[in-house]
Every structure is written in C-alpha cells, then in structure tokens.
Amino acid sequence: MMNTLVLWAPALFGCTRVTLKEVVTPKAFENLSAVLQKLGAEKIAEGSDSTGKSQRHYFRVQRRPIILILQEPQPVEVVAPRPIIEYIQNELKIVLE
C-alpha cells in the first residue's frame, strides 16, 4: 500500500520522479538494482505486469523509499528523495565512463 502511495504522490514522501536516460534495457535495470543493493539499499518488494514489459523494484534506505520502474521500451524511472537521485545519477556517470 505504501509503495503505491509513493508512486501516485511522490511529493508527499519528499520524493521526485526522474528518468534515467542511460538505463533502457532490462539487463541495465537489473544491474542498477544490484548496485543499489550493494550500496546498502534493502529490496523490499518486486512487481511486474502480466506481459513482463513493466517491472518495479522497491527499496528502502534509511527508511526512505526508492522505486525503480522499467516500462519497455522507455528509459528507467526512479522515484526517490532528491539527494538519493543525485547520488544514483553520479554513480551512473562513473559506471558509464
């Protein structure tokens, strides 16, 4: 229930929705998910639609929500507090260089 509320009204939880244009494939989505876990994020749930074209991974870091959303063929979206989004974007720049 809480995850759905974060998706529908991210601002209520101090979150923002940002598109990560560098992450477009399911493999890159899974890699990003694994990186978040290695950095200390706890995966609390997963979800997907019946066709498998849409996937969601739900995380918590210091009691703050992070949601990764893949809806093929669009780039991945992340819903998280601004400092966490900035950290993810900086880590992506390092990984992609």
- Provide the pLDDT confidence category of residue 94 given band limits of 50, 70 and 90: low
Decide: residue 33, CB within 10 A, 0-12 exposed, 13-18 middle, 19+ buried.
buried
For residue 30, the 8-state DSSP code is H
* Whole-structure pTM value: 0.85
Would you say residue 59 has pLDDT above 90?
A: yes
Distance CA 94, CA 71 (A): 24
The CATH number of 11-96 is which of 3.40.50, 3.30.160, 3.30.410, 1.20.144? 3.30.160
What local confidence, expressed as pLDDT, does residue 96 receive? 55
- Provide the pLDDT confidence category of residue 81 given band limits of 50, 70 and 90: very high
pLDDT digits 0-9 by tens, 11-55: 888 889 999 988 888 888 988 898 889 889 999 999 888 887 889
Tell me which of 2 and 71 has the higher pLDDT: 71
Confirm if 81 and 64 have CB atoms less than 8 A apart. Answer: yes
